[in-house]
Amino acid sequence: MAGTDAIRADAVSKTFTIGKESFQALGEVSLEIPERTFATFIGPSGCGKSTLLRILADVIAPTSGEVSVFGRSAAQAREERDFGFVFQDPVLLPWRSALANVELPMQLNGIDKAERRARALELLDLVGLQGFEKALPAKLSGGMARRVAIARALTLGPRVLFLDEPFNGLDEIRRQNMNAELQRIWLETRTTTVLVTHNVSEAVFLSDRVFVMGRNPGRIMAQLEIDLPRPRTIETMTSPEFVEYDRELTALLRTAYEDAEP
């Protein structure tokens, strides 16, 4: 097996069964994500992006097919704390301060108090939340809560970071700022990252590799490598290369939508 792939999915499918109804959310999906890559799934809503992401992270099991992460099964990788995961909503524990939320994974792994505190402070710093350590989630804005969730996902030094539409619902400027922040964090840590989004320019801005997904059943319809120098900036976004990638990805996505119409 090649040593450079962080994640391989081999003919993964998922069928949900509710009562007597069954619904195929994912067809047979195969993909490879090399180590230290920033990969993105983009596609119409309901095409199975979240489902695929959750299967890769072993939050749910596939109906058929196999996932391997650094040569082991996804379940093994999860149990060995390989994954950081940011849900579509931040899912913070409301009784814990921002700091204590970031500490949670370390606390559950028996890391002693002084060490986990220091690490959590460092991570809150990294996501630009110094000064908000003591704030309860109810007092944080949506963007800040998401940054806490990102910090929490980074605590155990994951080998793979999963992000499910982490900036959904933020206005455009905040989203761009968060993207720049995310890129900075990624450049610092170089953690293999898998992002779900339905925003084209976000995908181009952040990714090395973009998977375009289609519906009925969910599948990968195209794959695009983004070869732009980093760090990418607001200026990059107006460069001819960026605009060309944006156009190309939009065209691919349009096909995915058209294909999905009955």
Partner 1 sequence: MSRRARLAVASFYVLLLGAWEVYGRLAYEPGKLLPPPTTILRTLWEMRDAYLRDAWVTVQEAGLGLLVGVVLGLGIALLVDRFARMGEGIYRLALVLYSVPLIALAPALVSALGIGLRSKVAIAALAAFFPVVVNVTTALRSVDRRVLELGRLLSVGRWRTLRFMRMPYALPALFAALKIAGPAAVIAAMIAEWVGAERGLGLALLYAMFGFQLPNLWAILLLSTLMTGFAFAVFEVLGRVATPWHASAQRGER
Ligand X SMILES: Nc1ncnc2c1ncn2[C@@H]1O[C@H](COP(=O)(O)OP(=O)(O)O)[C@@H](O)[C@H]1O
Distance CA 249, CA 159 (A): 28
Question: Residue 50 or 155: which CB sits closer to ligand X?
Answer: 50
Which residues, in sequence order, are CB contacts of 15 under 8 Å at separation 6+? 22, 23, 24, 25, 63
| Phi (first) and psi of residue 141, to 5 degrees | -75, 165
Among 79, 171, 225, 259, binds partner 1 (CB under 8 A): 79
Least separation in angstroms between CB 87 and Mg ion:
10
Among 13, 37, 40, 50, binds ligand X (CB under 6 A): 50
| Residues 31-60 contacting partner 1, CB under 8 A | 54, 57, 59
By a kind-dependent CB cut-off of 5 to 8 A, residue 70 interacts, out of ligand X, partner 1, Mg ion, none, with: none
Pick from 165, 182, 154, 208: which is nearest to 36 by CA? 208
Counting contacts by CB under 8 A, is residue 93 touching partner 1?
A: yes
Question: Residue 49 or 54: which CB sits closer to partner 1?
Answer: 54
- Region near ligand X per CB under 6 A, out of 44-52, 130-138, 231-239, 245-253: 44-52
Counting contacts by CB under 6 A, is residue 48 touching ligand X?
A: yes
Least separation in angstroms between CB 1 and Mg ion:
30
Question: Residue 116 or 232: which CB sits closer to partner 1?
Answer: 116
Question: Residue 152 or 215: which CB sits closer to partner 1?
Answer: 152
Among 44, 105, 166, 214, binds partner 1 (CB under 8 A): 105
Least separation in angstroms between CB 90 and partner 1:
10
User: Among all chains, which residue has been given the structure tokens 């992401």?
Assistant: 53
Distance CA 166, CA 95 (A): 22
Among 37, 42, 49, 185, binds ligand X (CB under 6 A): 49
Q: Which residues bind partner 1 (CB under 8 A)?
A: 54, 57, 59, 78-79, 81, 83, 85, 87, 89, 91, 93-95, 104-105, 107-109, 136-138
| Residues in contact with Mg ion by the rule CB under 5 A | 50
